[in-house]
Chains A and B, each alone.
Chain A
């Protein structure tokens, strides 16, 4: 599947994908995209893969702040000589 052979609504859906996943589309744009996804399994699958990647990034980077560092930050806070 290449961009040249993709139908126009699919090309439009691909262009909207980033903003859709980042929740940066307007309500109306979301409606247009979702109407297309409902009838286009190819784009729907691309969107879900995109969301999967986003989730995988968040999960891979989920390590919490080490306790020792958290204590150190508290100390820095208490010692701060700001006015």
Chain B
């Protein structure tokens, strides 16, 4: 049992951290190749978070703090595996989806159908094909709900790099999704 188990600050920290398990899990899931690796990563991250709980500054974004721990562990693991550098993939123009899906001709009806076309399978495939530095930024902002600055702090990169990776990562994603949607429709 922890020495400070009755410390109200510690109890508040524990509850707040555990309440963020879904968010941490969703990010971890996209940074790892399978369920087991994601579970290991989240456990490691929480073990480290509970050990170093005093370094969390109350009032700051705890989700960002936890995701920073998660990110640091994920790079340690990636380094151990010595994976080959990944390629970004094909980028599309920002308005590629629009061009690809037929433009303004069938404007209103098409928006509704796009949601149906973007089923989870192709979205998850497209995400997993994105190389890690790009996928990580997309995941931190879209799933972790971090601001550009918070994502920059988590990844220890300039905010401009966050924005350009996010932008380029999403362009690759959009191209993959537009192509998947187009195939389904054809």
Contact = CB atoms under 8 A, between A and B. Distances in A.
Contact of A83 (B4, B22, B29, B148): B4
B3 interface: yes
Contact of A48 (B51, B111, B119, B174): B111
- Per DSSP, are chain B's interface residues mostly helix, strand or loop, or mixed? helix
Interface of B: 1-5, 14, 17-18, 21-22, 24-26, 29-30, 39, 42-43, 46-47, 50-54, 93-95, 97-99, 101, 103-104, 107, 111, 114-115, 118-120, 123-124, 127, 138-139, 141-143, 147-148, 163, 166-167, 170, 173-174, 177
Nearest to B118: A56
A60 to B, nearest CB: 4
B2 A81 contact: yes
Interface of A: 1-3, 14, 17-19, 22, 24, 41-42, 45-46, 48-50, 52-66, 69-70, 72-74, 76-83
Contacts of A58: 142-143
Interface of A is mostly: helix
Contacts of A46: 94-95, 97-98
B2 A82 contact: yes
A17 B177 CA distance: 18
Contacts of B138: 57
27 contacts: A22-B141, A24-B147, A49-B97, A50-B97, A52-B114, A53-B97, A53-B118, A53-B170, A56-B118, A56-B177, A58-B143, A61-B29, A61-B139, A61-B142, A62-B26, A63-B26, A66-B25, A73-B18, A73-B42, A73-B43, A78-B1, A78-B2, A80-B47, A81-B3, A82-B3, A82-B4, A82-B54
Given A41-B104, A60-B124, A65-B21, 4 more contacts: A14-B95, A50-B174, A61-B26, A83-B4
B32 to A, nearest CB: 13
